[in-house]
Chains A and B, each alone.
Chain A
Amino acid sequence: MKKKNKAGTFFTPVVAVTGIFLAVIVFVSLFASVIAPYDPLATDVNAIYAPAFSEGHIFGTDGLGRDLFSRLICSARTSILNAFLIVAIEVVIGVPLGLICGYYRGPLDSIVMRVWDVISAIPPLLLSFILIAVMGKGMMTGIIAIGISYIPLTTKTARSMIMTEKKAVYVEACKSMGFSDARIIFVHILPNIITPMISQFTLDIGTAITSMATLSFLGLGVQAPNADWGTLLRDGMGNLYNSSALLFIPAICVILVTVSINLFSDGVQNYLDPSSRKLPSFKKYEKKHGIKKLSAVKANGEA
């Protein structure tokens, strides 16, 4: 059971808080080079393993005297950018492929679906390992590997949606007016089916961040001197006994961001899915006429 978004507004308290938090994170990571008090790669032999909240280094420093706060926000940029790239791969390849397969069916559809069946038969982490084994470790490989593991589901969703959508009357109308297939698919059908997929994409950004961090943590993703959150966690793990803040602070940061994204995409889902929300106008009507149960009846009827 999805929670009902009673107000019918997008900005429920949860969405507002997580949204602001995520916006701040994105803002900070965009302007990381301006905000960072130190160069994230600058070493300082006089401040090795400075504890958190010490003079000049709010989160302390690592074994080379690099400022953790600067490293954290600069690697935020890498992590978030990578996550967006992963989702971009998924959207740019998965959605059009699904649309074309679902619209035309035929041999192309069977081939693509068989290939995706094989790919989705492999667990995502194992698929990343296979691709990294084949293409060599590194940031780009990691992005491509994770991106590929997300494509099958997107393709299948887009495909199943266009298969019901192409029977709609407006598609027939478009055809009778002689519009090209490309125009029908991408101008007329796409806007109708992309909305329900958006909450899936927001959710995928969250999983993409953790998947990429996992690869980097295992030493297969982002390579030094570049860093993302996974690299920071790997470093923190190695220096556990010297300074616990090095592990603790990035860990909390990743948990906060991923949980926020989950809650935020839940909010997006609830807002975009009209069946799970009560419209404000409806609420006003109830208030005006002193009816209490109407919305409940209506909601049950629709469900």
Chain B
Amino acid sequence: MKRFRFIIKRLLSMIVIMFLVSFLVFVVLRMSDADPLTVMIGNNQSTPELRQALTEKYHLDDPVHIQYLRWIKGVLSGDFGTDYVDGQDVKGLVMSRLPITFGLVIMSSVIGSVIAVIMGVAAALRKGKPSDAAISGLMLVLSGAPSFLVSILILFFMTKYVPGYSFIGTYTNFGEFLQRIMIPSLIMALTFVAMLGRITRSNMINQLQSPYIATAAAKGLKQSNITYKHAFHNAVIPVITVAGYMIAGSIGSTVIVEQVFSLPGIGGLLISAIEENNFPIVQILVLFMLGAYLVMSFVIDILYTVLDPRVDLK
């Protein structure tokens, strides 16, 4: 019952945030200096007839809140409208870009989390030894180095020393798709390794020092049993939470590797839409990224209460 109320409360606040942010973005975009008509007309000759036709087609004369209601109604029924620059269907445009972004997020988070946990546990078990110092030092450098820098450095070395390996641009089949996203996902995985690895290490050290481990050892349990069954289970719960938030956040940060490796994902679409003042695309992508993040963090919170029964629901 308590959990049910918690879920309802979180769901409601999520919906409110999404409507609020989408409304604010919608309204303020229309208050900015950019004039949708100028964007739409572009290099064509601006005639009063054309302006009139476009104004009517996009309902630009209506008050802003009416425009918003029309837009959000469309979004809820699956119609994202047409974009300002090319007059294309926004939904198709976004859908064609989704595989790359989702591929990057899923691949990088799986690879990154697995490596991070292995390295973190390994470092914790060798606490104070040179191998621990090496792993921790590597993680510190990785966490200091921004991911876009790592991406361009790797791109630089790959193009220079691994000729013939193409990982830039579009794809035609699944094999090529994997090849395109492999290197960028590995780079994004580095962020996971840096962050999660350090958390795993410190949690694992904390758990190994707690009294119940001494009890387990006193009972005569095998060391491997103590480490992997007792300490690891408790140490990994906060790691899962942070990993979840990082996965949710990486939906927005794929934009960096997408730009560097010129991959056709939604991040690149958002950047170009912002530069062109292409409002319909900006609105829907902001809503989408925010929604994905909120849903993800919602799932993590629920999962957290399931994994750790001690957590109190408010």
Q: Which of A133, A137, A210 contacts B282 (CB 8 A)?
A: A133
Q: Does A118 interact with chain B (Cβ within 8 Å)? A: yes
How many chain A residues touch B (CB < 8 A): the figure is 39
Q: Is A187 an interface position by the 8 A CB rule?
A: no
Contact with B along A269-292 (1 / 0, CB 8 A): 000000000000000000000000
B256 proximal to A (CB < 8 A): yes
Residues of B within 8 A of A236 (CB): 152
For residue A156, give the distance in angstroms from its CB to the closest CB of chain B: 16
- Specify which chain A residues have a CB less than 8 angstroms from the CB of B144 in the assembled complex: 206, 255, 258-259, 261-262
Contact of B202 among A1, A125, A136, A137 (CB under 8 A): A1
Chain B hits for A254, CB < 8 A = 146, 149
A210-B140 in contact given A133-B274, A240-B156 (Cβ < 8 Å)? no
Q: Which residue of A lies closest to B144 (CB)?
A: A259
Encode contact with B along A238-255: 1 for CB under 8 Å, 0 otherwise. 001100100110010011
User: How far does the alpha carbon of A133 sit from the alpha carbon of B294 in the complex, in Å?
Assistant: 20
Q: CB < 8 Å: which of B28, B253, B270, B293 contacts A121?
A: B293
A218-B259, A219-B275 known; A133+B25 contact, CB < 8 A: yes
In the complex, whether B34 has a CB less than 8 A from a CB of chain A is yes
Please indicate the chain A residues that have their CB under 8 angstroms from the CB of B253 in the complex: 123, 125
Interface pair B32/A136, CB less than 8 Å apart: yes
**Interface set, chain B 113-158, CB cutoff 8 A to A:** 140-141, 143-146, 148-149, 152-153, 155-156
A280 to B203, CA, bound (A): 30
Q: Flag if B28 contacts A134 (CB, 8 Å).
A: yes
Q: Known A126-B290, A136-B32, A258-B144; judge A251-B153 contact (CB<8 A).
A: yes
The distance in angstroms between the C-alpha atoms of A122 and B153, with both chains bound, is 29
Interface residues of B in 222-280 (CB under 8 A from A): 248-249, 251-253, 255-256, 259-260, 270-271, 273-275
Are A137 and B293 CB-contacts (below 8 A) given A237-B152, A254-B146, A255-B144? no
Q: Is the CB of A259 within 8 A of B34?
A: no
Q: Which residues of B contact A233 (CB under 8 A)?
A: 148-149, 152
Report B155 CB to chain A, min CB distance, Å. 8
Identify which of A1, A135, A214, A217 contacts B205 (C-beta below 8 A): A1
- CA A253 to CA B240, docked complex, whole Å: 34
Whole-angstrom distance between the Cβ of A254 and the nearest chain B Cβ: 6
- What is the 8 Å Cβ interface bit string for chain A, positions 192-227, against chain B (1 contact, 0 not)? 000000000000001000100110011110000000
Closest Cβ neighbor of B259 among chain A residues: A218
Q: Is the CB of A122 within 8 A of B290?
A: yes
Q: Which residues of A contact B (CB under 8 A)?
A: 1, 118, 121-123, 125-126, 129-130, 132-137, 206, 210, 213-214, 217-220, 233, 236-237, 240-241, 244, 247-248, 251, 254-255, 258-259, 261-263
A-B contact pairs, 18 of them (CB 8 A): A118-B21, A122-B290, A123-B289, A125-B252, A125-B253, A126-B290, A129-B255, A129-B286, A133-B282, A206-B144, A213-B148, A214-B146, A233-B152, A236-B152, A247-B156, A251-B149, A255-B149, A259-B144
Besides A126-B293, A133-B282, 7 other A-B contacts (C-beta < 8 A) = A1-B206, A118-B17, A126-B290, A134-B29, A233-B152, A241-B159, A258-B146
Pairs of residues from A and B, 8 with the lowest C-beta to C-beta distance, nearest first = A259-B144, A126-B252, A210-B146, A123-B249, A134-B28, A258-B144, A262-B144, A123-B252
